[in-house]
Amino acid sequence: MVQEFIEVEDAGTFRLVAEQAPFIIRRDPYLFAQYFSSMIFINIAKLEDREVRRLFDLLRGKTIVVKSLVKASSISDFLEKIEGAGKQS
In the chain, what are the domain boundaries?
4-88
Q: What pLDDT was estimated at residue 86?
A: 65
- Reference 35, options 49, 44, 24, 27; nearest CA is 24
What is the β-pairing status of strands 63-65 and 24-27?
Answer: parallel
The three-class DSSP label of residue 30 is strand
pLDDT in tens, the chain (89 residues): 788 999 999 999 999 999 999 999 999 999 999 988 899 999 999 999 999 999 999 999 999 999 988 899 999 999 998 887 766 55
- Give the Cα separation of 82 and 46 in Å (integer): 33
Q: What pLDDT was estimated at residue 69?
A: 87
Q: What pLDDT was estimated at residue 83?
A: 87
Q: What pLDDT was estimated at residue 88?
A: 59
pTM here? 0.80
Based on the number of CB atoms within 10 Å of its own CB, is 17 exposed (0-12), middle (13-18) or buried (19 or more)?
buried
CATH code: domain 4-88 is 3.30.720
